[in-house]
Structure 1
């Protein structure tokens, strides 16, 4: 019997090619997005599932309230916290600290590679489930200046050669002996450093001032992360009590006007996905992103299933007599029901095949800007999930049409289908059309707003020069020597050495400063040399830039922005010149200049106090202001000079404007555009189904009206006006929703566009045009049909 269902299903698919194509294509496109969401969700939920005592393992986080009332939930903790927990509280069985500051250029011979690493303890292998492919986990992190590498990093440095026993030289941290190579973990992990060095190396690095003195400082919480394993039988409350006790270190902060600080546990299993934390060492997505992906994907699939229902009902009018004949011949209702469910499932399986093909093409060629996980699509487990998903979709999409079609009474359908009413008329399907077009218009308004905002972000004058600036890595060459050589290149006008690119969030550093009246302030800062203001075209409102005689050994001068002067309580920029600030409570520096406020961070953030520091130890790149002209030749000449100073290394450069544009969100716009296009097409298909159904059921009425002299135009208006009202109703609902959604999105940005009436009306006009084309394509055919064909049986 089941075989017969399949044969009949394929026979009907061949007969109704257009219907089959529309349904399979619509389902396939929506299923593609759902499969991407399924793969992404599967990946996001697979973090850190290989650790031995995951249910008892916690990361400690920090709740910080600044003196001005701002709240920050930090993933990091003081470096001293781990030892205090381990030695002072019996509920703690194991503890490990991860100090994520071992980052920079590392080299072997002439090979130099950027490494992101951390310092940690031998207990790292007791708390976590990481294993060594080479080396002894008991001793690998015991001796100072020992380091273990991930398998990928070891291959980058040593290829197929043995890594253990070799030396690696860091530019800032000295030499380290490779004592182990990590196995690739069995699943993803938020602890994704490329190297782990022994934390016993830190005291010596603090002593020579390579690292700040944090080992015994409870007041610095950045970059260090504390993990604990509770003893069996101990619950979260024991850890909360211990953290509350240690929080007494900060009882005096509110009285000093320095805000407040408290510790809070976070389960290891809840780190990824998780809520966003500041200074996080994880790389996984937050729950908001995961739920948004799933919601959008299944919303699109739900719309496609509604369309399948509508189009199946239209098609049912042509298959009603088939149902009647089968019932007259003895078919039971459940058999007819199973026939249509089988057809729905087969259509979804065909859609799945097409969706997988689209997925492979998207994964291979990066179509539509969609983020595709790098999973093997032939993975049996993944294919099983895809198959189950397809079966459930087929049953869900087909159950309503199957129930309706199997309920036909043979006497009625064999006599006439015109009077058959499905689901009590058109109310349900009209409601679905309004919902679909409301979602589509809301999405279009949101997309237009996002596009305008990101275009504004890409083009906004941020207050500094960004055009015709070429960024070149400094590496370990003296910045002044490289500047002098590159200034000889034709087309290079001026050069500055900097710590990073203005406007790129990860390049901005932060430091604590204290004023003469003991007021603590947090400054964002960039390091720059004497030509920084000139190259970046920053405007001095008082004082001067760094003098050529500034010491490269001891920091003496500081340039601040107008906002910093205001926050310090100084009346004017001129009055700020000569004022002293203390770095880390001990290093005095004098304000030598004040620059006009500019957006040193992206436009999401308001302008806050910032400083430009003359600190050569933090110079990482040169920024070349060049004349317009032959860019390829200029880069070739710069490369030639750079290779003279870095023989055997790989030259890289980047235009500053292109670097900033890469952070402007164009990928987000592309993906949103694709999803909005899909939502609109699916809504149009749903409208097409209901219009086709209505024109079919009213064909006798249309024939009579034509015989009585009705014009084609008046018939088209008669058939179309109800649907145009549906679109207008959808517009009245969607425009306020789109406005509110866009307004909420724009709150992310300190500097933003206005939404405007033209955004709302223009988006509605586009949707109305799509709807009219869909409606008129059916009403024109119905109004122009020969009335003889519809009235010949009367």
Structure 2
């Protein structure tokens, strides 16, 4: 029986080739997006599922409020928190603390590799269950200056050689002996560091001032993370009570109006997907992104299913007599229903094959329109999941037309097909068309706004110079010596050493500053730069001067601030600020030597805030070369020659500043949105195509009679099209305010933004009207061109 159903299904698909292709293509494009989301969601929920005692493991988070009322929910806690909980509360069975500041270049012989690492307590492996391929997990993190590497990091450093006992040298932290190599984790973890060093190394680093005093400091929260394992049978309330007890340390802050701090447990299973806490670790996806992906996928597949239903009805109405004949010959309703469901499932399986081929093509061509996963799409378990997904979609999409068409009365369909009414007429499908085109127009308006905003971001003058500046890493070279060597090149105009690139997120550091007259502390953003920093970046001095050539490299003496900082400190003018003393971290006095005009030292998502430029050579990470106009490739080659001579055996990297900032211009976001908008609009057009084809088919005798009575082609075209044009206008009336609101909400992300653009909205609407008219006229004109005699012939 099923074999006969399959044969009939393929015959019908082959007979209606164009209709079949449109149907399969529409479903396939939607399924492509759904499969990407399916893989992504599957991976996002595979984090942290291998840790022992996961149900009893909690991460401690911090709720902090600043004196000016700003509130932060932070993933980090004070560094002493773990030991305090383990030693003072019987309900806590074990704890593990991470101090994620072990970042920098690790060196073995002449090989240097950047490492993102953390200091960890010896209980780390016991709490999280990571396995070691080499070394003893009980002792690997006990001895000071011992370090455990991930398998990938060990491979990068040592290749196939045995890494155990080898020494890795950090410029800042000193030497560490490899005491273990981790096995690859069974699945993903939010703890994604490349190296884990013994926490017992921290005291000596604090004594030598390499690290700030945090081991016994309850006032510093950043970069330290505490996890606790509760004893069996202990309730969460016991941990909450302990955290409230620890929060009493900050009662004095509340009484003095200096803010507040409180602590909250977070279940290990709730860390991923991320709640987007401040100072979190790992690149885990946030809940908002996952829900948005699921919402887009569901919306697309629901629209595609409805379109499939519409198009199936149009095609199936032409087979209504077949249904009548089969029923006269004794076929039961469930058999006919099963026939149409079989055809629907086959259609979806064919769409699945096309969708997988599309994904493979995207992987091979590195398509940027969607975040195509790197997974092996031909993995048997994944293919089975895809197949199950397509069968479910086929049943859902085919159920409505199968149920309706299997209910045809033989006498009625064999007598007059025109009188058949499905689902109470066209109201439901007209409503669907309005909804689909409303969504399409809203998406188009939103896309245009996103494009305009990111284009504005790419060309906006941020108040500093960004063209023809080549960023070159200092590595371990002396900045002054390397600067002198680079200035010998004929194409290098000026050069400066700096801690990072202006305008790049996370390149800006932060410090706490107070004035001599007040005990109130203020948070400033800052960049470290040398005496030529203002000159290279074209920053305008409003008062004072840049750093003097005699500035000390060991002890900080001077500071340059912006106009916003002058205003926040209550100083009347930039000139009045010159010579005043500020205190860094409450104790280091520095003198204001200059005030620069405000500029966007952070991305345009945020307003200009108080900032400083400091002369701290220890924080210089790169040399920024202002190049003259010329052959950029040759200029980079000349710079590379000098750099390689100063760093023998190391790999040279460089980046043009405008390209570095341009990498954040949102091109990938716009490409992805554009692709999704294209799919949404395509689905809406296919839905409109289906309903126009359906009505043209059912009104074919009316059209023939009107033509016989002398109706013109233009009149018939308007008669058949005016109702659909009304639907598009209604969709426009709904979508224009929705597009305006969604665009307005998006633009609120940016402190500096474009207007919503009424002309852009009207242009989007006219584009959609044009697309709809092409779709409508293509079907109505086809119906009008048919010879009236063919339609009036006696059936």
SS at match of 1:130: coil
| Structure 1 position 79 matched with structure 2 position 79 | yes
Q: Distance in 2 between matches of 1:759 and 1:251?
A: 54
The answer for the alignment partner of 2:719 in structure 1 is: 718
Instruction: Kindly state the Cα deviation for residue 29 of structure 1 after the two structures are TM-superposed.
Output: 0.8
Are 1:425 and 2:425 counterparts? yes
Moved more, 757-766 or 193-202: 757-766
1:713 & 1:333 partners in 2: Cα distance?
43
* Aligned mates of 1:366, 1:264 — CA distance in 2: 42
Q: 1:257 matched to which residue of 2?
A: 257
- Structure 2 segments unaligned to the other structure (5+ residues): none
2:648 alignment partner in structure 1? 647
Say whether residues 1:756 and 2:736 are aligned partners: no
Partner in structure 2 of residue 396 of structure 1 = 396
Alpha-carbon distance in 2 for matches of 1:267, 1:364: 39
Report the secondary structure of 1:418's partner residue: helix
Q: In the alignment, is residue 526 of structure 1 matched against residue 527 of structure 2?
A: yes
User: What is the Cα deviation at residue 255 of structure 1?
Assistant: 2.8
8 Å Cα contact 1:509/1:526 also seen in 2: yes
> Which residue of structure 1 aligns with residue 177 of structure 2?
177
Q: Is the 8 A contact 1:304 1:682 kept in 2?
A: yes
Helix, strand or coil at the partner of 2:4: helix
Asked if 1 retains the 8 angstrom alpha-carbon contact of 2:561 and 2:610, the reply is yes
Q: Indicate the larger mover: 58-67 or 254-263.
A: 254-263
Q: How does 1:228-627 map to 2 (within 5 A)?
A: 228-516=228-516, 517-627=518-628
Map of 1:132 onto structure 2: 132
State how far apart, in whole Å, the 1-side matches of 2:228 and 2:572 are.
49
- Number of residues of Structure 1 aligned to a counterpart in Structure 2: 794
Whole-angstrom CA distance in 1 between matches of 2:374 and 2:94: 35
User: 1:776 corresponds to which residue?
Assistant: 777
1:531 and 1:679 mapped to 2: Cα distance? 52
Q: Which secondary structure state, in structure 2, belongs to the residue aligned with residue 186 of structure 1? A: coil
Question: What SS does structure 2 have at the residue aligned with 1:40?
Answer: helix
Q: Is the 8 A contact 1:32 1:358 kept in 2?
A: yes
Distance in 2 of aligned mates of 1:19 and 1:378: 29
In the alignment, what sits opposite 1:664?
A: 665
* Residues 100-159 of structure 1 deviation map (CA, whole Å, 9 limit, x = unaligned): 000011110000000000000110011102110100001110011000000000000000
- TM-fit CA distance, 1:371: 1.1
**1:475–1:620 Cα contact (<8 Å) kept:** yes
Distance in 2 between the 1:542 and 1:225 partners? 43
Q: In structure 2, the residue corresponding to 1:101 is in which secondary structure?
A: strand
Question: 3-state SS of the aligned residue for 1:227?
Answer: strand
Higher mean C-alpha displacement, 633-642 vs 229-238: 229-238
Deviation at 1:379, TM superposition (A): 2.2
What SS does the aligned partner of 2:319 have? Answer: helix
Whole-angstrom distance in 1 between the partners of 2:748 and 2:229 = 40
1:75 is displaced (CA, Å) by: 0.7
- Tell me how far 1:19 sits from its aligned partner: 1.2
Counterpart CA distance in 2 for 1:720 and 1:627 is 62
Partners of 1:288 and 1:382 lie apart in 2 by 25
Please say if residues 495 and 622 of structure 1, whose CA atoms lie closer than 8 Å, have aligned partners that are also in contact: yes
- Residues 240-265 of structure 1: per-residue CA shift (max 9 Å, x gap): 11111100111111233321111111
Tell me, in whole angstroms, the C-alpha distance in 1 between the residues paired with 2:152 and 2:746. Answer: 39
Query: Structure 2: how far apart are the matches of 1:365 and 1:102?
Result: 37
Residue 368 (structure 1) shift: 4.0
SS in 2 for 1:548: coil
- Secondary structure of the residue aligned to 2:276 is coil
Per-residue deviation, 1:381:
2.0
The 2-side partners of 1:578 and 1:364 are apart by 61
Residue matched to 2:33: 33
How far is the alpha carbon of 1:372 from its aligned partner? 2.1
Q: CA deviation at 1:171?
A: 1.1
Question: Within 5 A, what are the aligned runs for 1:628-647?
Answer: 628-647=629-648
How far residue 331 of structure 1 moved from its aligned partner, in angstroms, is 0.2
Q: Secondary structure at the match of 1:367?
A: coil
**Matching residue of 1:53:** 53
The Cα offsets for residues 160-183 of structure 1, whole Å up to 9 and x where unpaired, read as: 110111000011101000000011
Q: Does structure 1 conserve the Cα–Cα contact (< 8 Å) formed by 2:369 and 2:674?
A: no
For 1:523, what is the secondary structure of its paired residue?
A: strand
Q: How far apart are residue 387 of structure 1 and its match?
A: 1.0
Deviations 1:23-54 (A, max 9, x none): 11111111010000000000000001000011
1:338 Cα deviation from its structure 2 partner: 0.2
> Who is 1:18 aligned against?
18
Q: Please state whether the residue corresponding to 2:33 is helix, strand or coil.
A: helix
SS at match of 1:533: helix
Q: Hey, what's the Cα distance between the residues in 2 that align with 1:211 and 1:376?
A: 44
Supply the distance in 2 between the matched residues of 1:213 and 1:55 (Cα, whole angstroms).
34
Please report how far the alpha carbon of residue 609 of structure 1 lies from its aligned counterpart in structure 2 after TM superposition.
0.9
Deviates more, 1:235-244 or 1:322-331: 235-244
Q: In the alignment, is the contact (CA less than 8 A) between 2:701 and 2:792 conserved in 1?
A: yes
Deviation of the 1:369 alpha carbon: 2.7
Q: Distance in 2 between matches of 1:685 and 1:315?
A: 14
Asked whether the equivalents of residues 581 and 589 of structure 2 are also in contact (C-alpha less than 8 Å), the reply is: yes
For residues 396 and 313 of structure 2, what CA distance do their matches in structure 1 show? 15
Q: Deviations over 1:418-476 (max 9, x none)?
A: 11111111001001100100110010011111111111111111110111110001000
Counterpart Cα distance in 2 of 1:330 and 1:717: 45
Hey, what does 1:90 align to over in structure 2? 90
| Cα distance in 1 between the residues matched to 2:752 and 2:483 | 36
Query: How far apart are the structure 1 equivalents of 2:65 and 2:779?
Result: 62
Tell me the distance in 1 between the aligned counterparts of 2:753 and 2:629.
31
Helix, strand or coil at the partner of 2:510: strand
Q: Secondary structure of the residue that 2:418 maps to in structure 1?
A: coil
Aligned residue number for residue 765 of structure 1: 766
Task: Give the corresponding residue for 2:167.
Answer: 167
For the 8 Å contact 1:473–1:621, the answer to whether it is kept is yes
- Indicate the SS of the match to 2:318: helix
Conserved? CA contact 1:368–1:670, under 8 Å: yes
For residue 582 of structure 1, report the CA deviation from its aligned partner: 1.3
Alignment partners' CA distance in 2, 1:694 and 1:77: 66
> 3-state SS of the aligned residue for 1:676?
helix
Provide the C-alpha distance between the structure 1 equivalents of 2:235 and 2:15, rounded to a whole number of angstroms: 65
Per-residue deviation at 1:792? 2.0
Determine helix, strand or coil for the equivalent of 2:470: strand
How far apart in 1 are the matches of 2:363 and 2:160? Answer: 30
Secondary structure at the aligned position of 2:455 is classed as: helix
- 1:248 and 1:303 map into 2 onto residues whose CA distance is 55
How far apart are 1:650 and its partner, in Å? 0.7
* Partner SS, residue 369 of structure 1: coil
Secondary structure, counterpart of 2:607 in structure 1: coil
TM-score (norm 1): 0.99
Q: CA deviation at 1:274?
A: 2.3
Q: 1:145 matched to which residue of 2?
A: 145
Number of the residue aligned with 1:689: 690
Q: Which residue of 2 aligns with 1:740?
A: 741
Match of 1:678 in 2: 679
Match of 2:188, SS state, is: coil
SS across alignment from 2:475: coil
How many angstroms does 1:378 deviate by? 2.4
- Which TM-score applies when normalising by structure 2? 0.99
Distance, in Å, in 2 between the alignment partners of 1:707 and 1:374 is 61
* Contact kept in structure 1, 2:466 and 2:537, CA below 8 Å: yes
Measure how far apart 1:290 and its partner are.
0.5
> Residue 465 of structure 2: SS of its match in structure 1?
coil
